[in-house]
Amino acid sequence: MIGSLVAEGVEVTLITERPAQEAPGVRQLVYSVDETATQHPALAATEYHLRTGEAVARLMERLNRSDPPDVVLGHIGWGGMLFARDALPDAALIGYCEYYYRSTGSDLDFGIDEPVPAADRQRVRMRNAAQLLALDTLDAAYAPTQWQRRQYPAAYRQGIAVCHDGIDTQTCRPDSEASFVLPDGRVLTPAMPVVTFVARDLDPYRGYPEFMRAAATLAARHPDALFVVVGGDGSGYGRPRSDGNSWREAMCAETELGDRIVHIPWLPYENLIRLFQVSAVHVYLTVPFVLSWSLLEAMACGCLVVGSDTEPVREVIRDGVNGLLSPFHDAQALAERIEEALSSPALMRPLRRAARETVIAAYERERCLARQTGWVHQFGD
């Protein structure tokens, strides 16, 4: 959005904890946060949000004295918007509502039979404190998907619009002539049975263990299939393993896939798109949580996606129409769906086309940006 606003002649100031690459027309103000730990575990995130809010407010107050902004747009979940109304009483505030934590019907209790421990319920409730305080001060708000919007309390939900950040469908597009070079020099093309899996970190939130178990089952049935996984060894959205191993190490040991699977920690964006373009089947799994951009980018590239039958994914993928769905925790069923896709490439072509059409119709970047910048101009004029 920043580039679009600058192109329209808007004066943009970025308040950030991590300096971004310098861009013409964008002034950056950098803050730092005192990470002094609280004594109460349920308050760890809340205190960090408070300290973030204080640090950001100091910069906002300085701006208010010298060059007061007309509009402030910020993520409400990390504390930066906590004191924006106090620091900038005359500015219009637009909040980005990414995720509201819940102890039931969401990521915390997904797939478990026993009750969520009281300490975890208290922790996630307190984690929302900064969001609730910020929501009460906003002039407008938006969430990237309908499901993410529905996680917010009903009292605020009506005031939250839905608009994704958008996918560049010109960059993310099918290419029958694409090729992808593996780290060992092997060249992959769209004609090969390549199964892909991508996540920021390889963790249970994004279904990495289930994917690996499905891959092991499928590898025995399809000797030519190659599995390519992109993702880091961090703990991701979950907690680190108690044995100190990464999930990659643990699952490679369990499945013994050997050279049938290639793990790549990170890829430049243009290489990731080429990987999507050569993918025969792309697997995307997630617990009920924030929907990854990578799913929509893969669909825009015309991937045949086998996704988890969970609410965030069902918002985008209709089974048998623009992709295939499989139960999150059933690795055997997942293997069968991947095999179905690999075995019937001609039958899957309409699903691939429909996947791209879905992204163009609802998530195309220019349309999303037009809505977002429209809100800025609406409140800034």
Q: Could you report the per-residue pLDDT of 270-283, keeping only the tens digit for each?
A: 999 999 999 999 99
Question: Which CATH number, 3.40.50.2000, 1.10.10.10, 3.90.79.10, 3.40.50.1100, labels domain 180-363?
Answer: 3.40.50.2000
Helices H, strands E: what count in the chain?
15, 14
Which segment of 57-61, 103-107, 278-282 scores lowest on mean pLDDT?
Answer: 103-107
Average pLDDT over residues 51-62: 96
- The answer to whether 237 and 269 have CB atoms below 8 angstroms apart is no
> Which CATH architecture fits 2-166+365-380?
3-Layer(aba) Sandwich (3.40)
Output the pLDDT for position 36: 73
Provide the pLDDT for residue 114. 86
pLDDT at 31: 95
Residue 259 has pLDDT above 90, yes or no: yes
The sign one gets for the Cα dihedral 330, 332, 336, 338 is positive
Averaged over 344-354, what is the pLDDT? 95
pLDDT digits (tens, 9 = 90+) for 38-49: 778 888 899 999
**Residue 134: burial class (beta carbons within 10 Å; 0-12, 13-18, 19+):** buried
d(CA 197, CA 264): 10
pLDDT of residue 34: 81
Residue matched to tokens 């991937």: 303
From the list 238, 21, 12, the residue with the least C-alpha distance to 112 is 238
Task: Return mean pLDDT, the chain.
Answer: 95
CATH 3.40.50.2000 in the chain is located at 2-166+365-380, 180-363
Other CB atoms within a 10 A radius of the CB of residue 116 amount to: 13
Cβ 147 vs Cβ 312: under 8 Å:
yes
Confidence of residue 35 (pLDDT cuts 50, 70, 90): confident
Query: What pLDDT is recorded for position 122?
Result: 93
Confidence band, pLDDT 50/70/90 cuts, at residue 186: very high
Amino acid at 286: T
Closest CA to 352 of 270, 281, 259: 281
Residue 12: C-alpha distances to residues 30, 77, 259 (Å): 14, 21, 49
Q: pLDDT class for 196, splitting at 50, 70, 90?
A: very high
The pLDDT score that the predictor gives to residue 162 is 98
Task: For 1-32, write each residue's pLDDT tens digit.
Answer: 888 888 888 899 999 999 888 889 999 999 99
Eight-state DSSP code of residue 152: S
Check whether 37 has a pLDDT greater than 80. Answer: no
Tokens of 307: 């996704």
The answer to whether 355 and 322 have CB atoms below 8 angstroms apart is yes
